[in-house]
């Protein structure tokens, strides 16, 4: 156990994943605070008997509000924030604490891998390009099944593009990307029947996949997960500085949180991690990826990810607010013009407009912590580290 450490776990819809999450951090932290975030005591009923300190919120104040409640009670000099659908490796806090001894480091993110096992599929398709489409295309997938269960939406990897849906019929499909590998979630061990478009397919191998090894910054201000969908076969085992973290399992010094503040509470959820990392960058601090510990994550177990209209709304609204708070003025203005013309539905535009004054005033308030400019942050990080090794899985080094 590392005594002078705290871990905050926010739980709104506790499922079977909460107990393993708490069990993974109770032996390694001085205190674990579980925020029962409008969960009607369900999270408290799990966390209290396990030995965690319960912080109750009678209503759902969002991930950002829940983290703020937990941090207000945290006493450790090193503080981790862990999603309730994640399980931390035993050295998560200790490894991060060692990196945080460098005062220039604002936060540490571990290697985060997707929970479960994936089968690697490589199709023998020459890539081609549709008119006006810059993506390499292979074939149009409408059904991928494992033991008869449809898993099209759960495919990962560089070899498959995002899910598309026909507005008139509701039909769904995903394009492959030629011979690039893609990955299908399968049960651990045992034989499995995997079919692509109704035809049995023999997987090339089975492996675990990266969720992220830190995050990168797009030119338009939205962050992406570095390494998403690539095999965890040793290629992400080198520490590195990244633009930022994705909020599954970051670790901070408490004094940095006091200086910069918690996640922006008005965001409620989504893009709060990008916003915080931009604030840290503007304050002249760094974010470091440390593969010395691994966290396993059940992707979007609690929020259902982009399938949820609420998630899509919050992500779009908060992306605009994040730019207003942190981006170079030309970048923010360009993206807001696009939003107002054709980039979002009226509800998102109204929500951004209603919080615009808060975003601009909070930008002015944060200016006192800046040691550099948004323009310099964008010059260094926008468009950097947006690609990684997506080749097929290989045996792990011994």
The model's pTM is 0.94
What's the Rg (C-alpha) of the chain? 21
- What is residue 304's predicted lDDT score, i.e. its pLDDT? 53
Predicted confidence band of residue 3 (pLDDT cuts 50, 70, 90)? confident
Contact of 80 with 251, CB cutoff 8 Å: yes
- What is residue 41's predicted lDDT score, i.e. its pLDDT? 95
Nearest residue to 7 via CA among 27, 17, 19, 16: 27
DSSP assignment string, 347-360 = HHHHHHHHHHHHHH
Nearest residue to 274 via CA among 236, 224, 238: 224
CA angle 150, 154, 156 (to 5 degrees): 135
Contact of 81 with 249, CB cutoff 8 Å: yes
Cβ neighbours, 10 Å, residue 11: 27
Give the contacts of 206 (CB within 8 A, at least 6 positions apart): 117, 118, 119, 120, 186
- What is residue 345's predicted lDDT score, i.e. its pLDDT? 85
- What is residue 368's predicted lDDT score, i.e. its pLDDT? 94
Query: What are 278's two structure tokens?
Result: 């931009």
To the nearest whole number, what is the mean pLDDT of the chain? Answer: 94
Predicted confidence band of residue 398 (pLDDT cuts 50, 70, 90)? low
Predicted confidence band of residue 308 (pLDDT cuts 50, 70, 90)? confident
Contact of 248 with 210, CB cutoff 8 Å: no
Residue range 297-325: average pLDDT? 84
Predicted confidence band of residue 307 (pLDDT cuts 50, 70, 90)? low
With 60 as the cut, is the pLDDT of residue 397 above it?
no
- What is residue 67's predicted lDDT score, i.e. its pLDDT? 98
Residue range 172-196: average pLDDT? 92
With 80 as the cut, is the pLDDT of residue 153 above it?
yes
- What is residue 191's predicted lDDT score, i.e. its pLDDT? 74
Q: Is 198 helix (H, G, I), strand (E, B) or coil?
A: coil
Nearest residue to 161 via CA among 177, 145, 181, 139: 177
Nearest residue to 277 via CA among 292, 261, 291, 266: 261
Domains and CATH numbers, the chain: 2-112+213-301 (3.90.550.10), 117-207 (no CATH), 310-369 (no CATH)
**Mean pLDDT lowest for which of 60-74, 187-201, 204-218?**
187-201
Query: What are 397's two structure tokens?
Result: 């080094």
Residue range 144-160: average pLDDT? 96
């Amino acid at each position: 156990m590392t005594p002078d450490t705290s871990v905050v776990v926010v739980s709104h819809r506790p499922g079977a994943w909460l107990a393993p999450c708490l069990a993974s951090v109770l032996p390694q932290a001085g205190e674990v605070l579980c925020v029962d975030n409008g969960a009607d005591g369900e999270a408290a009923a799990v966390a209290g008997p396990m030995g965690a300190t319960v912080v109750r919120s009678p209503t759902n104040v969002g991930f950002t509000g829940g983290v703020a409640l937990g941090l207000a009670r945290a006493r450790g000099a090193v503080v981790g924030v862990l999603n309730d659908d994640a399980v931390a490796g035993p050295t998560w806090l200790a490894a991060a604490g060692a990196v945080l001894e460098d005062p220039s480091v604002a936060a540490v993110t571990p290697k985060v891998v997707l929970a479960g096992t994936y089968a690697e599929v490589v199709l023998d398709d020459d890539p081609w390009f549709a008119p006006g489409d810059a993506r390499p295309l292979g074939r149009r997938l409408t059904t991928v099944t494992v033991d008869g269960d449809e898993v099209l939406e759960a495919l990962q990897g560089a070899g498959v593009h995002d899910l598309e849906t026909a507005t008139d019929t509701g039909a769904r499909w995903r394009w492959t990307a030629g011979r690039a590998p893609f990955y299908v979630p399968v049960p651990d061990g045992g034989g499995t029947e995997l079919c692509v478009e109704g035809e049995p397919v023999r997987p090339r191998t089975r492996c675990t996949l990266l969720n992220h090894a830190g995050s990168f910054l797009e030119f338009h201000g939205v962050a992406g997960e570095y390494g998403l969908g690539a095999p965890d076969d040793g290629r992400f085992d080198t520490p590195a500085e990244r633009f930022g973290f994705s909020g599954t399992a970051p670790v901070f010094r408490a004094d940095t949180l006091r200086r910069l503040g918690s996640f922006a509470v008005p965001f409620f959820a989504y893009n709060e991690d990008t916003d915080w990392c931009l604030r840290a960058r503007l304050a002249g601090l760094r974010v470091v990826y440390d593969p010395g510990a691994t966290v396993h994550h059940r992707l979007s177990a609690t929020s259902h990810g982009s399938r949820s209209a609420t998630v899509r709304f919050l992500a779009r609204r908060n992306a605009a607010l994040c730019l207003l708070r942190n981006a170079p003025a030309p970048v923010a203005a360009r993206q807001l013009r696009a939003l107002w013309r054709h980039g979002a539905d009226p509800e998102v535009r109204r929500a951004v407009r209603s919080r615009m004054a808060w975003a601009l005033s909070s930008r002015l308030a944060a200016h006192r912590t800046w040691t550099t400019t948004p323009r310099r942050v964008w010059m260094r990080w926008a468009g950097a580290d947006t690609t990684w090794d997506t080749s097929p899985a290989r045996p792990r080094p011994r």
